[in-house]
């Protein structure tokens, strides 16, 4: 598994290839479309992200010392942004997640 920083750098490189925001949005939307579906039993209040304008569900799972995240949203851009974060953080240890600064979000203009 790649480190958080390696994944962030790869995503930053991907975003740097786009000429305009339309291309970036299309990429984000595609990431959301490719996000694996979560079972309906996870779309409950316990996993709902509070304070978000769109409906977002985030299901964490701790397995073999690593965190894995499963999510869904009813908004396509939000779903894509969630997919970005899952791409970076899922499969990482809690310690590495806590140490990360997620500076790629600023680098890609989010």
Q: Which residues are catalytic?
A: 52
Residue 15 is classified by DSSP as H
Question: What is the rounded CA–CA span in Å between residue 83 and residue 65?
Answer: 22
Within 8 A by CB and 6+ apart from 71, the residues are: 35, 38, 56, 57, 58, 59, 79, 82, 83, 86
Q: Give yes or no for a contact between 104 and 10, defined as CB atoms under 8 angstroms apart.
A: no
With helix as H, strand as E and coil as C, how does 62-81 read? Answer: EECCEEEEEEEECCHHHHHH
């Amino acid at each position: 598994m790649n480190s958080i920083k390696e994944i962030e750098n790869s995503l930053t490189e991907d975003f740097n290839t786009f000429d305009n925001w339309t291309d970036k949005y299309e990429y984000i939307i595609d990431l959301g479309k490719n996000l694996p579906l979560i079972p309906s039993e996870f779309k409950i209040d316990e996993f709902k992200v509070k304070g978000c304008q769109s409906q977002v569900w985030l299901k964490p799972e701790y397995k073999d010392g690593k965190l894995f995240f499963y999510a869904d949203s009813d908004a396509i851009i939000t779903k894509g942004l969630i997919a970005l974060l899952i791409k970076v953080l899922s499969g990482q240890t809690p310690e590495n997640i806590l140490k990360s600064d997620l500076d790629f979000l600023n680098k890609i203009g989010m």
